[in-house]
């Protein structure tokens, strides 16, 4: 199992290196595919996706929303002056459109779907596709080619550091009913580790590539704050699994589970890093 998990992890890192380095349509297209899978994993976990092969109206509305959302991002990459709207404004517009689309399915197919089903579907769209899109939006920022890596440092770096510290000295349970293996010591170690990794990344790579930048402390703060939120994302995804009595969201990634199992912390961290970068780096 360890070898399988390690190999899968290496492949994920290679994919991240290629897509996040290239950015643009390559990154947006990759995120669109990942988002689609994550959306369906959430629908299945929430009981909205059965074993039938045919897509229902809610699923189709989700697919259309994701394609339009990421399609607009790709179009604006090639035609940046096509729409005079900020990244945040674009996200909000797409979210409102998706809500209208989900409600249209609910209204015109009534009483096939319950209101709660539509709410769950809309939640799934925002939770995975919209939140993950901030990887792309962060990469599109000025100096985004450097900043975007802080998302993975704050999430996957925190996960690794928290695991190591928890195994070594973890004694006090952080959320015993939700995630019995996680400890307070591990959580603190994850935050501290992400901050240190962020500082090292800034000092050894960013400041060498951009000599006029002195941002080691800023990246350390961003790494630590991002790590706090990443652990909330991890626990939130675990809570949904426990609520619905499932072990993993899927089996796509050997040794890790589904997209939601591997990207649960990234989903929460991406928007936080985006806004922290806007506030602290200008």
pLDDT tens for 208-233 read 877 777 789 999 999 999 999 999 99
Check residue 118 and give its pLDDT. 92
Provide, rounded to the nearest whole percent, the portion of the chain with pLDDT above 90. 54
Helix (H, G, I), strand (E, B) or coil at 50: coil
Number of neighbours of residue 276 by Cβ within 10 angstroms: 22
pLDDT in tens, 74-85: 888 887 766 556
Mean pLDDT of 122-138: 94
pTM above 0.75? yes
CA distance 234 to 256: 13
Furthest-apart CA pair in the chain: how many Å? 62
Cα distances from 172 to residues 63, 165, 167, 169, in angstroms, run 43, 12, 12, 9
Check residue 242 and give its pLDDT. 86
Query: Strand runs (DSSP E) across 102-178, as ranges?
Result: 173-175
CA distance 202 to 191: 17
Mean pLDDT of 171-194: 87
Closest CA to 106 of 94, 91, 116: 116
**Residue 161: pLDDT above 60?**
yes
Average pLDDT, the chain: 88
Check residue 87 and give its pLDDT. 59
Question: Residue 214: CB partners within 8 Å, gap ≥ 6?
Answer: 207
Check residue 9 and give its pLDDT. 75
Confidence of residue 40 (pLDDT cuts 50, 70, 90): very high
Closest CA to 77 of 151, 34, 137, 17: 137
Question: Residue 81: CB partners within 8 Å, gap ≥ 6?
Answer: none
Confidence of residue 179 (pLDDT cuts 50, 70, 90): confident
| Residue 275 token pair | 């806004």
Classify the C-alpha dihedral 70-75-80-81 as positive or negative.
negative
Cα distances from 225 to residues 220, 229, 265, in angstroms, run 9, 7, 13
Enumerate the β-bridge partners of residue 173.
183
Confidence of residue 88 (pLDDT cuts 50, 70, 90): low
CA distance 238 to 102: 26
């Amino acid at each position: 199992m360890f070898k399988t998990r390690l190999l899968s992890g290496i492949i994920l890192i290679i994919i991240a290196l290629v897509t996040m380095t290239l950015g643009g349509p390559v990154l947006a297209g990759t995120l669109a595919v990942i988002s689609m899978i994550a959306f369906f994993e959430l629908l299945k976990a929430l009981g909205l996706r059965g074993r039938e092969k045919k897509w229902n109206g809610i699923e189709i509305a989700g697919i259309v929303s994701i394609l339009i959302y990421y399609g607009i991002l790709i179009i604006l990459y090639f035609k940046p002056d096509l729409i005079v709207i900020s990244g945040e404004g674009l996200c909000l517009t797409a979210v409102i459109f998706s809500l209208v689309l989900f409600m249209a399915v609910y209204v015109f197919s009534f009483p096939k779907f319950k209101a709660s089903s539509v709410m769950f579907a809309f939640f799934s769209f925002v939770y995975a596709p919209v939140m993950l899109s901030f990887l792309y939006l962060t990469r599109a920022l000025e100096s985004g080619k450097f900043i975007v890596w802080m998302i993975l440092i704050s999430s996957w770096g925190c996960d690794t550091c928290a695991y190591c510290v928890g195994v070594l000295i973890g004694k006090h349970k952080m959320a015993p009913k939700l995630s019995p293996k996680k400890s307070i010591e591990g959580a603190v170690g994850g935050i501290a580790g992400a901050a240190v990794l962020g500082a090292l990344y800034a000092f050894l790579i960013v400041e060498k590539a951009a000599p006029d930048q002195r941002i080691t402390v800023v990246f350390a703060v961003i790494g630590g704050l991002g790590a706090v939120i990443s652990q909330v994302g991890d626990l939130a995804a675990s809570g949904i699994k426990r609520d619905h009595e499932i072990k993993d969201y899927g089996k796509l990634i050997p040794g890790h589970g589904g997209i939601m199992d591997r990207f649960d912390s990234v989903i929460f961290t991406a928007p936080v890093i985006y806004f922290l970068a806007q506030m602290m780096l200008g």
